[in-house]
Amino acid sequence: MERSSEPSKDRRVLSIQSHVVHGHVGNSAAVFPLQVLGCDVDAINSVQFSNHTGYKEYRGQVLDSDNLDALITGLRSNSLLKYTHILTGYCGEKSFLEKILDVVTELKRASPNCLFLCDPVLGDDGKMYVPSELIDVYRERIVPSADILTPNQFELELLSGAKVTSEEEALKAIDCLLSRGSKCVIVTSIELPSSTDTLVLLGKSEKGEVARIEIPKLEGPFRGNWGPLLCPPVGMEPPRPTVIV
């Protein structure tokens, strides 16, 4: 039976991402589009900030592993840990990120087909958004467990340990992450010296299928604008792989 490319109402998504009072990043950028696609979404806010970290100052709270454990325990006690997808984004604390893997393991044990999509939010444009100690957790524990991994160019370099200045180098870096266990890697934005007016989205699956999309580049200080991009892989699935070259 072919999978439908129509939005599905039987998808239950656990979205663990950031939340800001002002602006739309993390859960506030992802939950509504997922609901529009027909998903039933439960959101856990990994942080609660006044605004995103691109501003000169921000205030708020960062959840740790104990906070996440308490929320998961409450869901478990009420038999609510029944999800088809888990989506993760910004995490501000090492123990919280490590606990996420325990949650993923539990959800996959209960439902082996549960899909884990991870946006490994580390930074952008050469600047870290999170503590550097999170890099090794992503490299060693999260990358091998992710069904879909969606780094940007800077994050791809950090996770693979390779500099990316061309599409060929990007594909080699993607292959590095695939060899560690990820089933699909989608690099959301690659800025190449050869093109000043476009960005490249480049994806590759463990089966070798490659997808490439050119995106017009808009100048401006954008943050968290890739959140809605993560929604279609969760909210709907194509009947067959799409290859764009």
Distances (CA, A) of 15 to 25, 80, 166: 13, 14, 32
Residues 6+ apart with CB under 8 A from 70: none
Domain-located, residue 85:
yes
Domain-located, residue 88:
yes
* Number of domain units in the chain: 1
Domain-located, residue 169:
yes
| Closest by Cα among 192, 187, 226, 177 to 210 | 187
Domain-located, residue 91:
yes
What is the span of the domain harbouring residue 142?
12-235
Q: Is 21 helix (H, G, I), strand (E, B) or coil?
A: coil
Domain-located, residue 245:
no
Q: What is the pTM of this model?
A: 0.86
Q: What is the DSSP string of 42-84?
A: EEEEEEEESS-TTSS---EEE--HHHHHHHHHHHHHTT----S
Distances (CA, A) of 56 to 26, 47, 50, 59, 60: 19, 18, 12, 11, 14
Per-position pLDDT tens, the chain of length 245: 344 445 555 899 999 999 999 999 999 899 999 999 999 999 999 999 999 888 889 999 999 999 999 999 999 999 999 999 999 999 999 999 999 999 999 999 999 999 999 999 999 989 998 999 999 999 999 999 999 999 999 999 999 999 999 999 999 999 999 999 999 999 999 998 887 889 999 999 999 999 999 999 877 655 555 455 555 555 445 433 344 43
CATH number of the domain residue 33 falls in:
3.40.1190.20
Please provide residue 173's backbone torsions phi and psi, each rounded to the nearest 5 degrees. -65, -40
